């Protein structure tokens, strides 16, 4: 945490490598296993990722109001992305929690992320 504060304030003259170099100063302290949790435990990741996305949509509905949020989601420009997103949310949860298929879960997550973008 202190490394992030030093980086943001510019107090990191002793660091010679960039943020993406080998010596990141603890900014990226995840191991390879931790950063690849999507492939190591995709069912757990899918459940947490999907519930997190639902909370994010719910929080914007709280800030904007549910009627305005739904109106924006069914806007003609966004209606297909919304349908794909909601469908993939349901499919990801079914594949993760009921079917327990890792491959289908990863595919549903990838399509869900694409719909969000």
Domain range summary for the chain, segments of one domain joined by +: 42-116
pLDDT band at 21 (very low <50, low <70, confident <90, very high): low
Q: What is the pLDDT of residues 27-44, one digit of tens each?
A: 667 677 776 776 778 888
Q: What is the pLDDT of residues 51-87, one digit of tens each?
A: 999 899 999 999 999 999 999 999 999 999 999 999 9
Q: Is-contact 109 117, C-beta < 8 A?
A: no
Q: Is 1 exposed, middle or buried (0-12, 13-18, 19+ CB in 10 A)?
A: exposed
């Amino acid at each position: 945490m202190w490394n992030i504060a030093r980086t943001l304030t510019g107090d990191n003259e002793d660091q010679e490598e960039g943020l993406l170099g080998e010596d990141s100063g603890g900014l990226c302290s995840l191991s390879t296993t931790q950063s690849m949790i999507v492939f190591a435990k995709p069912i757990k990741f899918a459940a947490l990722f999907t519930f997190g996305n639902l909370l994010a949509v719910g929080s914007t509905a709280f800030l904007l109001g549910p009627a305005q949020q739904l109106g924006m989601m069914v806007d003609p420009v966004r209606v297909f992305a919304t349908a794909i997103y909601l469908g993939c949310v349901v499919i990801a949860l079914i594949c993760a929690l009921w079917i327990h298929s890792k491959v289908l879960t990863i595919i549903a997550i990838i399509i869900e992320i694409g719909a969000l973008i």
